[in-house]
């Protein structure tokens, strides 16, 4: 086939030489000889091809390249039609995809802290599996599909719990109206809907604390059951999209310091968001959202709190660069009193790929009021830095160092190693 390619290239080149050859240069004789040689080679190639079996869909890449020449009509009808139905049939049935990780984490103190993901509170360091994630998708018809994300997470003492992270019936009417019904990750922030439970997709070994899942100590209602609608807003080059969600989140939080379980008993929520992906800079996304529901402080007699969460984000992904920035304002207004807590939080993460290595730096900040519903979080801020090394497109290794400053508590240093994979 390589002969054939070379011959084709040479013929193309020579076919353009008509006018030049009319000048009868001294090299004409040489060219004539080469043309003769080419004709002989062509005949040999034809002879060889006539002995080859019909091409199959499992050809190697070089063979595929060679087939980029214009196929003769009879070639198309004789060799391609038989395998097209297998190649191009609609993807029916259930498609599976998996994500897994193995972690080692070490802290510089024994004080219980972030006893989640299987990390044993009170230990200097231990291994744990984190989340094992199975993603199932199935197309029902051209517009309807089903998605489910089953997460098997490690709890304390190597107990494993199964969580239905997402189960969605999706109906995409068109680009302007895409509906999802079921359990979803709320559009409360960019990170929540970009990475879900897939640790392999993340550059860092863990999520920013403000975007951590509630059952791992995160402060926000990251999961809910209800309806989510999104789509494009006709806006030309601005690339505006909207997001509207209505549902029940019923968040159960893990207290970071003592491991208590706090059931927020959330009322139904709404979440409205808008974001732009301007044509002028592919990879840029700028947007924000507002979320509102009512929660109950189960540790303080079930007092009701109006919870509003504002988000703004600026994200750029392109040319090997990842630049994530999100800011939040969590507002808790206590009913039957004038107590209002405004708790700001943000994280900023930047990374750049250099071949297989992607060094990263993240800084995060969260300031929860003492005496408030999230007082176990308190004030925490500090950098995380490290690198991700991709062995190939499916296996990555991450090494991350965290330094966290805490109000009224000693600084916390941690090293987190993670082998993440997808299959």
Partner 1 sequence: MQTRLAIAIAAVWIAGNATVPAALSQTSDIAVVVNEKNPVKNLSSQEVRNIFAGDRRSWPGGLPIKLFVRAPDAHERAVLLKLLGMSESDYKNYWTAKIFRGEVQSEPIALFSNGMQKEAIKAYPGAVALVNMQDVKPGMKMVKVEGHLPGEEGYPFN
CA angle 33, 38, 42 (to 5 degrees): 150
Q: Is 359 within 8 Å of 373 (Cβ atoms)?
A: no
| Beta carbon of residue 71, minimum distance to partner 1 (angstroms, whole number) | 4
Residue 320 tokens, joined = 């090997």
Our CB check for partner 1 shows the closer of 5 and 348 to be 5
How far is the CA of 28 from the CAs of 22, 31, 250, 301, in angstroms?
9, 5, 85, 100
| Beta carbon of residue 410, minimum distance to partner 1 (angstroms, whole number) | 38
| Beta carbon of residue 341, minimum distance to partner 1 (angstroms, whole number) | 33
Helix, strand, coil fractions of the chain, as percent rounded to 5: 20, 50, 30
Our CB check for partner 1 shows the closer of 99 and 328 to be 99
Our CB check for partner 1 shows the closer of 122 and 283 to be 283
Our CB check for partner 1 shows the closer of 142 and 408 to be 142
Which residues, in sequence order, are bridge partners of residue 329?
A: 310, 344
* Three-state DSSP class for residue 317: strand
Can you list the pairs that 118-124 forms with residues at least 24 positions away whose Cβ atoms lie under 8 Å?
Answer: 118/153, 118/154, 118/155, 118/156, 118/158, 120/156, 120/157, 121/156, 121/259
Our CB check for partner 1 shows the closer of 170 and 207 to be 170
Q: Is 344 within 8 Å of 210 (Cβ atoms)?
A: no
| Beta carbon of residue 137, minimum distance to partner 1 (angstroms, whole number) | 5
Our CB check for partner 1 shows the closer of 19 and 337 to be 19
| Beta carbon of residue 207, minimum distance to partner 1 (angstroms, whole number) | 15
| Beta carbon of residue 420, minimum distance to partner 1 (angstroms, whole number) | 12
| Spatial distance between the Cα atoms of 103 and 400, rounded to a whole number of angstroms | 11
């Amino acid at each position: 086939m390589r002969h054939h390619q070379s011959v084709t290239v040479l013929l193309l080149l020579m076919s353009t030489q008509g006018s030049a050859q009319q000048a009868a240069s001294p090299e004409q004789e040489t060219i004539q000889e080469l043309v003769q040689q080419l004709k002989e080679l062509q005949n040999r190639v034809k002879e060889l091809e006539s002995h080859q079996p019909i091409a199959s869909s499992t050809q190697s890449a070089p063979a595929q390249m060679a087939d980029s020449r214009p196929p003769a009509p009879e070639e198309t009808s004789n060799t391609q039609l038989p395998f097209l139905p297998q190649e191009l049939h609609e993807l029916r049935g259930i498609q599976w995809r998996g994500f897994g990780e193995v972690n080692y984490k070490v802290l510089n103190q024994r004080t219980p802290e972030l006893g989640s993901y299987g990390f044993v509170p009170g230990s200097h360091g231990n291994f744990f599996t984190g989340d094992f994630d199975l993603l199932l998708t199935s197309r029902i018809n051209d517009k309807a599909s089903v998605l489910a994300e089953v997460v098997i997470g490690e709890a304390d003492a190597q107990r494993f719990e199964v969580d239905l992270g997402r189960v969605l019936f999706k109906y995409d009417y068109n680009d302007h109206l895409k509906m999802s019904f079921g359990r979803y990750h709320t559009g409360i922030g960019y990170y929540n809907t970009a990475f879900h439970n897939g640790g392999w997709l993340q550059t860092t070994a863990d999520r920013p604390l403000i975007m951590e899942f509630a059952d791992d100590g995160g402060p926000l209602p990251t999961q809910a059951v209800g309806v989510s609608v999104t789509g494009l807003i006709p806006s030309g080059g601005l690339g505006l999209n909207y997001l509207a969600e209505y549902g029940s989140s019923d968040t159960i939080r893990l207290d970071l310091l003592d491991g208590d379980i706090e059931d927020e008993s959330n009322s139904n929520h709404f979440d409205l968001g808008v974001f732009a992906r301007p044509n002028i800079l592919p990879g840029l996304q700028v947007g924000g959202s507002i979320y509102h529901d009512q929660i109950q402080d189960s540790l303080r007699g079930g007092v009701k709190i109006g919870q509003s969460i504002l988000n703004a984000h600026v994200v750029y992904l392109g040319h090997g660069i990842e630049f994530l920035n999100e800011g939040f304002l969590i507002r808790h207004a206590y009913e039957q009193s004038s107590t209002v807590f405004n708790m700001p939080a943000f994280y900023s993460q930047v990374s750049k790929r250099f071949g297989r290595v992607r060094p990263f730096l993240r800084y995060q900040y969260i300031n929860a009021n003492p005496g408030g519903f999230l007082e176990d979080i308190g004030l925490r801020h500090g950098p995380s830095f490290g690198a991700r090394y991709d062995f190939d497109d499916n296996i990555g290794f991450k090494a991350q160092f965290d330094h966290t400053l805490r109000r009224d508590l000693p600084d916390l240093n941690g090293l987190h190693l993670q082998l993440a994979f997808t299959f």
